[in-house]
Amino acid sequence: MTIGLAMFAALVLVVLLGPLLAPYSPSKTSPDSLAGPSAAHWLGTDSIGRDVLSRLIVGGRGTLLITFVAVALALAVGLVLGLVSGYVGGRVDVVIMRVLDVVFAFPVFLLAIAVVAALGPTLRNLILTIAIVYTPTLARVVRGPVLSVKRWDHVEAARSVGVGEFAIALRHVLPMVISPILVQTSLTLANTIFTVTALSFLGLGPPPPDPNWGSMLADARQFMELAPLTVIGPAAAIVFASLTFIVLANGLREMLDVQGR
């Protein structure tokens, strides 16, 4: 758990401080292209002489920001939908779940591509797509505990004494939902890193000149035998980020002793 938090802190640092940490400007080209690691360039340079490390840091900021924002959005919507669906039940529940099933039926990636293709590869659309794609899972995770809690005895008791439904939802249901939601959010963050980097790998991510890990990986393919770090750098960064969220998820799971619902 502590390892996870440390890794997470590192990521947050990159997001917050980004450009300040980078030794060079990420778009600063130089004649020293495809260089190996050196004192001047810790991870070498890419095909047009830009410093790999700087691009990783600034690119990380972009990639991670998109990830966090998209997941936050999915979480907000998923939370609301799950709570409403589970709590109100009946027709509303069925309708919401059916709609979510449709979204769920698409392989994540296919849907993302389709939406981005339709709406254009802007930053806003990217975030929206990812939010849409991951909302069903989060909504489901919320709905589960809600369904069981709402039948509990002390909730019935509270209801019979006349406590308002909204208050019940807040006091009793919400706390039950927090643990599985935290774990699932961590996992979703890991998956989102994949989706974001994969989309930018295909060229559907945020447009240049902003660097991001996916497009760095794609660009590096052309000359990768000459400068392996241009590939290994972004690859390691991606792995580090997703590992962070996975470790966090496992740590949370142990800490909160959450059982699969």
Give the binding site for another protein (CB under 8 A). Answer: 98-99, 101-103, 105-111, 113-120, 190, 193-194, 197-198, 201-204, 217, 221, 224-225, 228, 231-232, 235, 238-239, 242-243, 246
Say how far apart CA 169 and CA 219 lie, in whole Å: 50
Query: Looking at beta carbons only, is 8 or 201 nearer to another protein?
Result: 201
Tokens representing 101 are 């099933």
In the bound state with another protein, the residue whose beta carbon lies nearer, of 163 and 232, is 232
Least distance in Å: CB of 117 to another protein? 4
146: which 2 tokens?
């809600």
How many Cα atoms sit within 13 Å of 223 on the Cβ side? 14
- C-beta closer to another protein: residue 119 or 170: 119
CB closer to another protein, 168 vs 193: 193
Q: How far is CA 96 from CA 80, 102, 185, in A?
A: 11, 10, 20
Residues 6 or more apart whose Cβ sits within 8 Å of residue 144: 86, 180, 261
* 210: Cβ contacts below 8 Å, ≥ 6 apart: 58, 59, 62
**Residue closer to another protein (CB basis): 39 or 102:** 102
CB of 198 to another protein, least distance (A): 6
In whole angstroms, how close is the CB of 65 to another protein at the nearest point?
Answer: 19
At residue 29, φ and ψ (nearest 5 deg) are: -90, 165
Task: Output the smallest distance, CB 169 to another protein, in A.
Answer: 29
Provide, rounded to whole angstroms, the least separation between the CB of residue 33 and another protein.
18
